[in-house]
């Protein structure tokens, strides 16, 4: 019964999307009617787990007495807030706005939980204000649709121990081949070039993203799952080789051992996102001043490609009575220098807005990185992220299944590509179980 209901809802969603595409090219006038301003004072609710959001919202509330926003909070998305959103959508009392990470947006889209903001004033025009690829994450490649406003991003680069590389006379790798060569030299000194994460599957996805792969595709009706395409296979084989030769450590990430490996200089680099700058500073305090950041190693010398790890958006839920005001607030929140500065300060958010990359706070040198203006590297990386990477509608499940396999792989009980193959099968099964149309 339930499955059938989902299937019906899905078909309805798909047909709405299709007609939306068809009509929008001919006229935007009819669509605009669905996102009209409300009269009188409007109260909006906004659920987010970002600490310090109240302060940014307070600024907005002061300037906009007619659109008052109330912040609600909870654990991070996969920690329970997404499930709450789905419960609330079912119960018909979802908040007007909610924070959703890019990799979870398709799930909400498939469950028809999002309002298309394309007809709301100023939203389509805002495309130019955001880094290109972030816009691709919120419109799912549809020209005339916008399902959320990008908030923050996680362009990836390479954090490395500048002092150790220099002292051991090892060149900073600019390609993955050089990275392997450096790994061998570093292993000879007793260290590891990096730690391969067995559970940060979105980090691995970022590496695949950089290599030009994509795990999912959607042609408007059907999904295609491809966790094992040649690009992914290449990335998996690369890391498998490093694991097999014991050139990378395999501590579980975000644990004390992991922090300690960085703090004691046993691990030398970390291929991570802009927001990771604070993770090292906090986890490896003894290494202050010894780190630096360089662009990610490339697959071919001279290439300029970056991956992305993390990032979220501000979406307006189905059922919001005030999409116009909600969109207006979301645009302000994610483009205004004032709000972006506050969120960067309180939660280390790295903006998705182009203007946000020029914030004074993101131009300054960072002491932990020897005074290097590290965010310049990330700003460059952000511009080099491919807009073609698509997330699937059941990412939590995909992450879990692949992660199980990765855990086996780091203990030499399997391989990364095996894990991805299992993830592929499990993802297709999960989508079929939810009646999501998928090419098998």
Partner 1 sequence: MSTVVPTPTPTVTVPDRPARGIRPSTAKPPRAQRESPFARAGAMIVMAVFTLYFLVPVWWLLVAATKDRAQFTGTNPLWFADFSLFENIGALVSYRDGVYLKWMLNSAMYAGLGALVGTIIAGMCGYALAKYRFPGRELIFNVVLGGVLVPATALALPLFLIFSQISLTNTFWSVFLPSLVSPFGVYLARIYASASVPDELIEAARLDGAGEVRTFFTVSVRMMVPALVTVFLFQFVAIWNNFFLPLIMLRDETLFPVTLGLYGWNSQVNQIPELRGYVLIGALLSIIPLIIIFLLLQRFWRNGLSAGSVK
Q: Is 378 in the site for partner 1 (CB under 8 A)?
A: no
Least separation in angstroms between residue 279's CB and partner 1 is 6
- Of the listed pieces 117-125, 156-164, 170-178, 255-263, which binds partner 1 according to CB under 8 A? 255-263
Binding range to partner 1, per CB under 8 A, among 9-17, 58-66, 68-76, 191-199: 68-76
Are 204 and 235 a contacting pair, CB within 8 Å? Answer: yes
Dihedral of CA atoms 341, 344, 346, 348 in degrees, nearest 10, equals -170
By the rule CB under 8 A, 92 interacts with partner 1? yes
- By the 8 A CB rule, do 96 and 46 touch? yes
Residue 164: CB minimum distance to partner 1, A: 18
Residue 367 interacting with partner 1 (CB under 8 A): no
Q: Pick the closer one to partner 1 by CB: 230 or 285.
A: 285
**Is residue 61 close enough to count as binding partner 1 by CB under 8 A?**
no
Q: What is the rounded distance in angstroms from the CA atom of residue 377 to the CA atom of residue 48?
A: 28
Binds partner 1 by CB under 8 A, chosen from 159, 275, 329, 369: 275
- Residue 302 interacts with partner 1 (CB under 8 A)? no
68 binds partner 1 (CB under 8 A): no
Counting contacts by CB under 8 A, is residue 73 touching partner 1? yes
Binding segment (CB under 8 A) for partner 1, from list 72-80, 290-298, 317-325, 374-382: 72-80
Q: How far apart are CA 375 and CA 372, in angstroms?
A: 9
Q: Which of 210, 196, 233, 211 is nearest to 424 (CA)?
A: 233
411 interacts with partner 1 by CB under 8 A: no
Query: Out of 69, 95, 150, 436, which residue is the one contacting partner 1 (CB under 8 A)?
Result: 95
Least distance between partner 1 and beta carbon 263 (Å)? 5
From 226, 249, 250, 259, residue interacting with partner 1 (rule: CB under 8 A): 259
Question: Which tokens in the block code for residue 273?
Answer: 């996102």
Which one of 113, 136, 191, 283 is in contact with partner 1 (CB under 8 A)?
Answer: 283
- Residue range at the interface with partner 1 (CB under 8 A); choices 70-78, 181-189, 290-298, 402-410: 70-78
How many angstroms separate the CA atoms of 190 and 170, rounded? 14
Answer yes or no whether residue 263 interacts with partner 1 by CB under 8 A: yes
Q: For the chain, how long is the longest CA-to-CA vector?
A: 70
Q: What share of the chain is helix, strand, coil (3-state, %, to 5)?
A: 50, 15, 35
If we measure between CA atoms, which residue out of 185, 211, 345 comes closest to residue 271? Answer: 211
3-state secondary structure (DSSP) of residue 53: helix
Q: Which pair of structure tokens corresponds to residue 239?
A: 């890391």
Q: In the bound complex, what is the minimum distance in angstroms from residue 192's beta carbon to partner 1?
A: 17
Q: Is residue 432 a contact residue for partner 1 (CB under 8 A)?
A: no
> Which member of 122, 220, 285, 365 binds partner 1 (CB under 8 A)?
285
Closest-CA residue to 293 (of 275, 314, 319):
275
3-state SS track over 99-149 = EEEHHHHHHHHHCCCECCCCCCCCCHHHHHHECHHHHHHHHCCCCCCCCEE
What is the contact surface with partner 1 in residues (CB under 8 A)? 45, 47, 49, 51, 72-76, 79-80, 83-84, 87-88, 90-93, 95, 254, 256, 259-260, 263, 275, 278-279, 281-286, 310, 347-348
């Amino acid at each position: 019964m339930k499955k059938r209901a989902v299937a019906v809802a899905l078909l309805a969603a798909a047909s709405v999307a299709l007609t939306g595409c068809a009509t929008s090219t001919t006229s935007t006038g009819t669509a605009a009617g669905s996102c009209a301003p409300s009269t009188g004072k409007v109260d909006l609710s906004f659920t987010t787990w970002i600490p310090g959001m109240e302060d940014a919202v307070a600024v907005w509330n002061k300037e906009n007495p007619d659109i008052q926003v109330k912040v609600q909070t909870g654990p991070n998305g996969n920690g329970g807030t997404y499930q709450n959103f789905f419960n609330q959508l079912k119960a018909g009392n979802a908040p007007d706005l909610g924070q959703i990470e890019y990799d979870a947006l398709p799930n909400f889209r498939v469950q028809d939980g999002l309002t298309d903001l394309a007809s709301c004033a100023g939203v389509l025009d805002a495309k130019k204000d955001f880094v290109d690829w972030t816009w691709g994450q919120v419109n799912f490649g549809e020209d005339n649709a916008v399902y959320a406003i990008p908030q923050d991003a996680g362009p990836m680069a390479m954090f490395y121990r500048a002092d150790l590389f220099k002292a051991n006379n090892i060149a900073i790798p600019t390609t993955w081949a050089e990275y392997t060569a450096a790994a061998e030299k570093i292993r000879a000194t007793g260290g590891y070039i990096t730690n391969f994460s067995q559970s940060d599957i979105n980090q691995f996805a970022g590496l695949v993203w950089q290599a030009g792969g994509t795990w999912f595709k959607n042609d408007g009706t059907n999904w295609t799952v491809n966790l094992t395409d040649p690009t992914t296979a290449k990335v998996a084989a690369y890391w498998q080789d490093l694991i097999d030769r014991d050139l990378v450590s395999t501590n579980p990430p975000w644990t004390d051992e992991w922090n300690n490996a960085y703090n004691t200089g046993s691990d030398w680099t970390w291929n991570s996102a802009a927001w990771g700058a604070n993770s090292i500073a906090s986890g490896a305090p003894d290494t202050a001043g010894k780190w630096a950041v360089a662009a990610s190693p490339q697959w071919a010398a001279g290439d300029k490609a970056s991956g992305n790890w993390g990032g979220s958006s501000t979406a307006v839920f189905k059922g919001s009575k005030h999409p116009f005001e909600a969109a207006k607030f979301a645009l302000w929140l994610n483009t205004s220098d004032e709000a972006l500065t506050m969120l960067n300060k309180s939660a280390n958010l790295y903006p998705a807005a182009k203007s946000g990359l020029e914030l004074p706070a993101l131009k300054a040198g960072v002491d932990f990185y020897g005074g290097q203006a590290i965010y310049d590297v990330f700003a460059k990386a952000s511009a080099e992220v491919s807009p073609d990477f698509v997330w699937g509608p059941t990412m939590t499940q995909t992450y879990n299944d692949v992660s199980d396999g990765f855990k086996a792989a780091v203990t030499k009980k399997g391989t990364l590509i095996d894990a991805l193959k299992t993830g592929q099968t499990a993802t297709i099964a999960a989508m079929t179980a939810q009646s999501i149309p998928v090419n098998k």
